Amino acid sequence: MAGHSRWKNIKHRKAASDAKRGKAWSKCVKAIIVAAKNGGQDPSANLSLRYAIDEARYENVPRDTIERAIKKGGGELGDDHYEPVRYEAYGPGGAAIVIDALTNNRTRTAADVRLILSKFGGNLGTTGCVSHCFEARGLLTIPAGTASEDQLLELAAGAGADDVATEDDAWVISTAPASLHVVRTALEASAIKVESARIELVPTVTVSTSGEQAQGLLKLLESLEDNDDVQRVYANFDIAESELDALGA
């Protein structure tokens, strides 16, 4: 999980600016619209919508913005049509990359993704070429100091979580995707703050990257994240902490 977590932590440090926050809100709104359109406007009966709303709340998206997005998805406020598309690619050093997007123009998005990949030494692959390097996991982030390790282990294990680990200044709880909501509910019922809770792709194998390849890979991932149509980017790289410090990440 090192590569995945490392990129997650890098993104967190970069996300403080208003521009980054605005992009994050836009991505959350798209996810809510698509979830509501495909599964209905009731989050209690639409698990995808519930997760999309939760993520928007963790990103501090205003309540009225969330409500408008749900209504848009239900067709009450026009019809914003977005469809999900996944790209699989290789980055510098052979790192596997999965790119999830929501788009209203597949041709535009595919061209943008290809351009970004080629600019930073990556290339687009075929469907299935790298997805086998990842597995879906539910990941919950708890700020350090919110609870003790023993308390988290007891609560998380009792709710069906698989693992509790410490990463930088936070606890990360790993669950099967189906257990994510149950674990989150158990933690919040015990007044433990959950900073984020989402289903993500976690690498089952990682590729060590350093030097110019590491620098190019980080620039590639950031450029993909900055694209308006791209929702999530997953990569299986592993960069040593000393290398990250040298790169200023």
CATH number at 210 reads: 3.30.70.980
Task: Evaluate whether residue 27 is within a structural domain.
Answer: yes
Mean pLDDT of 73-96: 89
- Domain match, 212 and 125 both: yes
- Domain match, 211 and 106 both: yes
Task: Evaluate whether residue 118 is within a structural domain.
Answer: yes
- Domain match, 113 and 219 both: yes
Q: Which residue has the higher pLDDT, 182 or 77?
A: 182
- Domain match, 34 and 114 both: no
The total of structural domains in the chain comes to 3
* Ramachandran class of 142: left when φ > 0, alpha when ψ lies in -120 to 50, beta otherwise: beta
- Domain match, 126 and 239 both: yes
- Domain match, 142 and 55 both: no
Residue-level pLDDT at 4: 46
Task: Evaluate whether residue 126 is within a structural domain.
Answer: yes
Dist CA 224 CA 210 (whole Å): 20
Task: Evaluate whether residue 196 is within a structural domain.
Answer: yes
Dist CA 234 CA 117 (whole Å): 14
Domain extent at residue 214: 83-132+204-247
Please check whether residue 229 is in contact with residue 111, taking contact to mean a CB–CB distance below 8 angstroms.
no
- Domain match, 146 and 172 both: yes
Most confident of 10-24, 57-71, 152-166: 57-71
Task: Evaluate whether residue 78 is within a structural domain.
Answer: no
Domain final residue, candidates 186, 203, 220? 203
- Domain match, 218 and 102 both: yes
- Domain match, 198 and 208 both: no
Question: Is the torsion defined by CA of 50, 138, 6, 222 positive or negative?
Answer: negative
- Domain match, 47 and 164 both: no
- Domain match, 8 and 117 both: no
Give residue-wise pLDDT tens across range 161-203: 988 888 778 899 999 998 998 999 999 999 898 988 989 999 9
| pLDDT higher than threshold 80 for residue 9 | no
Work out the number of other CB atoms within 10 angstroms of the CB of residue 212: 11
CATH number, domain with residue 33? 1.10.10.200
Domain final residue, candidates 73, 103, 118? 73
Dist CA 194 CA 171 (whole Å): 10
